[in-house]
Amino acid sequence: MCETVQYDFHYSDLSGVLERGFFMKNVKLLQKMTESAVMIALATILSLIKVIDMPYGGSVTFASMLPLIIIAYRYGFPWGALTGFVYGLVQMLFGLNNLSYATSFGAAIAIILLDYLFAFAATSLGAVFRKMENAPTAMGCGALFACVVGYIFHVISGCTVWAGVSIPSSDGLVYSLAYNATYMLPETIITVIAAVYIALVIDFSKPKIAAAKKSDIPTASYILSGIAGLVLLAAITAVSILVFPNLQDAETGDFAITGIANTNFTTLLIVAIVAIVIIAALLIAKKVLTSNSNKSKNA
């Protein structure tokens, strides 16, 4: 005869399983919250280290948006958007005096949304390419996408809310595009370069952050690319400093495209030529290094 094996089920067994599951879920949530808080704090500190501080708002920092992009890359769009939203609130507290320039209650709300909440929540777009196998490419593309969308929000704010305040009412869109580009373009370059480099060193795709796998391309080639990017950044910044102040009338503050005639084009041309030569030399050196590396592997 076959014996029937009976299993005595106790509710304590189910309770233990549920408790362990609940505990693990809470641990993961706690980890996400802790990392996000640390990254928000780091982003805030980096935002205070300004390379260039523009007269009517906006600045170039040491990749202050990168910590938020990393969070988005690690945990996805919704959590990244929430983190960016909270960071936007923090930045709004630092810039509360900007609301005093609002011409109406609606304008104040628009400033809060466009210049702070939406602009920084855009860092969540760093998660768009997180499924890509190549982490540096994914981080770099995500950073670029996030910065471009943030720039768009600032441009919209500039040509609507700030038109007639710090931006001329006439040609407001053109002025907003130009003004916001003077700091967002260098900021984007810095952020993208930093995102690529940090992804080469650290693997953020795993629950537990670890060192990234060594790349097949020599580290020196990445260093050369970074230097080339920094040279480009310096050139763009120099050109902006040479050109932009001449586009605004010193007395009325109105946008005046004719003021470009006052630009020192000799200096501008020298800066451009020197930058092009240096960047070309660095990129050629990188190509040679990569080619030699591939040959040595195939040998």
What lies within 8 Å, CB to CB, of 50 at 6+ separation is 59, 60, 61
Instruction: Give yes or no for a contact between 196 and 136, defined as CB atoms under 8 angstroms apart.
Output: yes
Same domain (yes/no): 142, 270: no
The per-residue pLDDT for 44 is: 95
- DSSP annotation of 51: E
Total residue length of the chain = 299
Same domain (yes/no): 199, 80: yes
Same domain (yes/no): 151, 261: no
User: How far apart (Å, rounded) are the C-alpha atoms in residues 202 and 155?
Assistant: 34
Q: Which domain holds residue 274?
A: 217-289
Collapse the DSSP code of 167 into the 3-class scheme (helix H, G, I; strand E, B; otherwise coil) and give the result.
strand
CATH number, domain of 144, equals: 1.10.1760.20
If one counts the domains in the chain, the total is 2
Same domain (yes/no): 232, 183: no
Q: What's the pTM?
A: 0.69
Which residue's structure tokens are 């997180």?
130
Instruction: Give yes or no for a contact between 50 and 59, defined as CB atoms under 8 angstroms apart.
Output: yes
Which residue's structure tokens are 């960071």?
87
Could you tell me the sign of the dihedral formed by the alpha carbons of 159, 160, 162, 165, in that order?
A: positive
Same domain (yes/no): 119, 99: yes
Instruction: Give me the phi and psi of 84, to 5 degrees please.
Output: -65, -35
Q: What is the pLDDT along the chain (299 residues), one digit of tens a residue?
A: 455 555 454 555 555 555 565 556 677 888 899 999 999 999 999 999 888 887 777 888 989 999 999 999 999 999 999 999 999 999 999 888 888 777 788 888 988 999 999 999 999 998 998 888 888 888 888 998 999 999 999 988 888 887 766 565 566 777 788 888 888 888 888 898 888 888 888 888 888 887 777 654 555 666 667 777 777 777 777 777 777 767 666 566 566 667 777 777 887 888 888 888 888 887 887 777 677 666 656 65
Of 68, 37, 63, which is closest to residue 50 (Cα–Cα)? 63
Q: Could you tell me if residue 23 is inside a domain?
A: no
Same domain (yes/no): 205, 64: yes
Residue at a domain's end among 195, 212, 229: 212
